[in-house]
Chains A and B, each alone.
Chain A
Amino acid sequence: MTAPLAPADGPSRVEELQARIRGMQATRLDSKLVPTHPAFERVLPGGSLREGTVVSVEGSTTLLMALMAGPSASGRWSAVVGMPEFGVEAAARFGIDLERLVLVPDPGRQWLTVVAALADVIPVVAVRPVGGVAPAETSRLTARLRQRGTVLLVAGEWPGSDASLGVEASEWHGLELGHGHLSDRDVVVSAGGRGEFGRRARSRLQLPGRSLAVEAVDAAPPAPVRLDEYERRAV
């Protein structure tokens, strides 16, 4: 989120300024890139996931899986916290290695503690937060993430996330009135971020693409997320 420079009351103005300072810190040049699927090159602010950042992904588990697939394919462990309905089969077809995937489906009220414990050892952690989070707790967790170089993917809103992705529109193909079956869909992913990635951008992705057939995935690793058409404009 960019901090708008509209006049505001005292405390919120301070928060905005702090958010801007944090935003500048988060985009240090030495933060390392995490291997991400090439299709996200033009979607994500900065072109790739970065170590120690928080990316919030709203409204699509598939998008979350696609983001996790790149790091998982490069041999990193990943963890999913608080998402009991996370579809394992779809995750495997997207290229997430189940051998290096850990699920904590029901962390209950302790989800933040669990995320902090996992962030120490697992480089990619996805979480669905329950209830609100206090700013003090998030900043402590953010410091920990930055120190460990862990990417936190949040399925939902997160105060002060470095980037946020959301699905604005989705259109399925293959299913008609009374016949056919779901084959692929086009989505419009909107992406925003802080600091130098402050511009809000929209891109079209195939998520999943038609090539994501069972047979194709078993063979050579095809592009699970295909970038068919690309359009980007500043809002």
Chain B
Amino acid sequence: MIIDPTRTIVLWCPDWPVFAACREAGIDATLPVALIQGGQVFACSAAARRDGVVRGVKLREAQYRSPGLILLDYDASLDVRVFEPVVRRVEETVPGVQLIRPGTLAMRARGPARYYGGEDAAARALLDTVAGLGVAGARVGVADGPFAAEQAARAAGAAGEPPVGIVAPGASAAFIAPLPVGLVVDARTSTLLNRLGVRTLGEFAALPEADVRRRFGAAGAFAHDRATGREQARVLARTPPPEFEVSQEFEPPLDRIDQLAFAFRVRADEFIERMRAKRLVCTGIRIEIDDESGGHSSRSWLHPRWFTPADVVDRVRWQLQGAGTADSALTSPITRLRIVPERIDSTGNHEEGLWGGGPDERVHHGLTRVQSMLGHDAVVTAAIGGGRMLAERQVLVPWGDRAPERGDTAAPWPGSLPTLAPASVFRERLPIGLLDAGGAIVTIDARGAISANPERFALAGGVAAPVRAWAGPWPVVERWWDAEHAKRVHRFQIVDDDGCAWLLVRDDEGWWAEARYD
């Protein structure tokens, strides 16, 4: 059965990932910008492309081609997040919108064309809508089927042409015929077809459909339909997701955290209650705070279980107070507070057991109580990470946050302590003195030789006591190629007169105790 493809409008925003990243980072999108993923260029701006940067190029190569290139990390969720307001605004202009990918929308042409009095007028109304949101350079294509319409949008505005490309009904097959066959099939099939001498969509469409299906299966048949302009995919309008975010403006602005927490309490209740009505729980939120002096702070918070209204208010407080106490005044009064759910799950996955929760749930409640007393960062769990110095091997993660990726724990880390781990690792090294027999400070020359054997050891301000045993220096050299972060220290193990063992460090400034074996 062959269905005539429906007339479709596609709205395409070129280089959307670059646009979204630039908007988030506050960078001018007309500069050469590239997004990096896995050491390769994922997307780049038009200016970077003029310099010869293309997708898939290695980082070094891209920098070589365009010396002024600004590099940003690619974040797929950011694309979606920044595109969401655009989708909502377009839905207000034209109902029934399908999100093909961030930056590309499809919708049926019939309704809008009738409403606005023609396909061209409808397309221009769409462009005006997105231009109102500050998205420049968007293009619209109208053709039979979403695939042809997207190709029309990409072809439009290419060389000074108007940003609307309309392909007459029934002319879509002819329009896409000269395009390369790789647009509809994957890379392997594309190579194979090229070797068979089928290079364009027109040539691919000329093959008998039964043969294509027999040789390439269902995927091949689907691609063949697209190439012949008889695409059977229809526009599947999305159901706009329910709106959960809450925001509150404060007039006059509030400058005390406890006032703000009290004022926001009702909205937090409403935020959670609205989700509960849909049988959803929230396990991650983003809190955005604007203050009077134009400052903006945004942070994501995770919850090991799910947020209750009190938890939301706690997170607001922690984000505001940083290291201060609850009744301290803020540097600038707060004008607006916004909470966006980031992770939502069905309540069914978070139901308590018939006999109540497990012991770990009780632990979580207890720790949350301590956190609300002392602040989010006061309660931590620990993990062992990579590194040479002992303090940097300890990775402390606030309770409830996700542990950072630690891929380098198993790396050899030349210079790290191989044997016994000290029981006390000082977060801030203690200044000490290591003296030789004559009472002079022991020094280490550039070749790593000590000036004299250490004989006496003293904590800062303490009385020097004899050293019973010692060994060293053991050099630790880090980042010698980087003048700013280079580190060159020497380690010593000593046993003092009380039988207590110390791990000492000698750097450019003097002697320090890094850890104690007590």
Write the residues of chain A forming the contact surface with B, with a CB cutoff of 8 angstroms: 59-62, 65, 77, 84-93, 98-99, 101-108, 110, 113-114, 117-118, 120-122, 169-172, 175-183, 185, 208, 212-214
Contact = CB atoms under 8 A, between A and B. Distances in A.
A98 B381 contact: yes
Nearest to A66: B423
Interface string B379-412: 1111110000010011010010000000000000
Contact of A181 (B370, B383, B419, B499): B419
Residue from the set A89, A90, A175, A178 with the largest chain B CB neighbour count within 10 Å: A89
Contact of A214 (B359, B381, B418, B469): B418
B424 interface: yes
Given A121-B366, A170-B498, 10 more contacts: A62-B423, A89-B390, A89-B394, A98-B383, A104-B378, A105-B396, A177-B470, A182-B517, A185-B501, A213-B419
Given A102-B381, A104-B378, A104-B379, A178 B453 contact: yes
A172 B426 contact: no
B469 A87 contact: no
* 6 closest A-B pairs by CB: A121-B366, A61-B423, A90-B421, A89-B421, A88-B382, A170-B499
Contact of A114 (B370, B381, B501): B370
A101 B362 CA distance: 15
B444 interface: no
Contacts of B425: 85-89
Nearest to A90: B421
B366 A118 contact: yes
A70 B417 CA distance: 26
Contacts, number: 148
Interface residues of B, number: 47
B501 A172 contact: yes
Nearest to B517: A182
Nearest to B393: A89
A105 B380 CA distance: 8
Contacts of A179: 471
B515 interface: yes
Contact of B471 (A61, A104, A176): A176
B274 to A, nearest CB: 31
Contacts of A77: 359, 363
A122 B363 contact: yes
Given A103-B382, A171-B499, A182 B493 contact: yes
B394 A175 contact: no
B176 to A, nearest CB: 56
Contacts of B366: 117-118, 120-122
B500 interface: yes
B195 interface: no
Contacts of A84: 427
B379 A102 contact: yes
